[in-house]
Amino acid sequence: MEIYIGIDVGSTTSKAVIINEEEILTYSIIRNSYDLAESGKRAFDIALRNIELPGMKISYIVSTGYGRRAIKFQNKAEPEIICHAKGTIKLVPTCRTIIDIGGQDSKIMEIDEKGYVKKFHMNDKCAAGTGRYLDKLAKDVFQVEVEDLGRISLKSEDPLVISAQCTVFAESEIISYLSQGKPIEDIVAGLHNALARRVIDMGRSAFIKFERDIVFSGGVAKNIGMVKAMERLLGGSVVVPREPQITAALGAALIAKEKSKDRDK
């Protein structure tokens, strides 16, 4: 059986997706070490080990993401915006807007019905619109796992306002709320609102129309509090794929399939 592999070497995690002609066979998601080449290879090895079917033949490998050129065993490296669009439209054919929040950047893309990117905007300059910001506050300030922030914030009935735009000032604002004895759920819910607003405002300033369906992807889309904050601010539901962290790796695998067919023509 011919298989096609997409590897997304992100800033924080690496993901590998293996597909055949019809379906996703398996995938892996790992946290990166400081060595992106090692991380990408490890994600690839884990995904391959998951299947190990007899007679399996790797036909083509496409890498993407921030560290897409760190690994050297791919047939081709593709830009992540194209891979995100390709993977997302496959999972959600009605998608016209993608909001992706990863470890070190956030991106908003407008796509057409074929998954071609019409417009995109990316923020990789400011930490306030990224997963790393939530990771740091969870660990250093709230002393909980980042995976727990969503559940905590759902208990809030009265989210606090976090007005500072900059992470350093927002952190002082949060610490001041904690020292005033404000409930943690109201602070975390306020934090989610502030982060979601920042990402949406970034898109609006780049004239993104937020046409529906809106798909929220990236590791931060696993935070239910962030999903709710996005829905409140956008005034309607957003779609989160079952595994929102692998959309770019899936797109890379789909491109790998196309490239392999072109090569064999």
Contacting positions for ligand ADP (CB under 6 A): 10-13, 102-104, 131-132, 134-135, 146-147, 218-220, 222-223, 245
Answer yes or no: are the C-beta atoms of 68 and 259 closer than 8 Å.
no
Q: How far is the CB of 218 from ligand ADP (least distance, A)?
A: 4
Q: Report the distance separating Cα 209 and Cα 170, nearest Å.
A: 28
Nearer to ligand ADP, 134 or 234 (CB): 134
Nearer to ligand ADP, 59 or 245 (CB): 245
In angstroms, what is the minimal distance from the CB of 104 to ligand ADP? Answer: 5
Beta carbon nearer to ligand ADP, 107 or 260: 107
Of 10 and 203, which CB lies nearer to ligand ADP in the complex structure? 10
Q: Which pair of structure tokens corresponds to residue 104?
A: 């070190």
Nearest-approach distance from CB 174 to ligand ADP, in angstroms: 16
Q: Which residues of 222-243 are buried (b: 16+ CB within 10 A; e: fewer)?
A: bbebbbbbbeeebeeebbbbeb
Nearer to ligand ADP, 12 or 260 (CB): 12
Shortest separation between residue 247's beta carbon and ligand ADP, angstroms: 9
Q: Which is nearer to ligand ADP, 59 or 191 (CB)?
A: 191
Alpha-carbon distance values, 252 to 8, 77, 80, 169, 208 (Å): 8, 9, 8, 38, 24
Which residue, judged by CB position, is nearest to ligand ADP in the bound state? 219
Question: Nearest distance from residue 251's CB to ligand ADP, in Å?
Answer: 13
User: Taking the complex as a whole, how short is the minimal distance between the CB of residue 36 and ligand ADP, in angstroms?
Assistant: 10
Q: For residue 31, give every residue at least 6 positions away whose Cβ sits within 8 Å of its Cβ, in sequence order, or none.
A: 12, 13
SS3 content of the chain, % helix, strand, coil (to 5): 45, 20, 30
Gap between the Cα atoms of 44 and 35, Å rounded = 14
Q: How far apart are the first and last CA of the chain?
A: 18
CA distances from 178 to 59, 93, 112, 114, 136 (A): 54, 43, 45, 48, 16
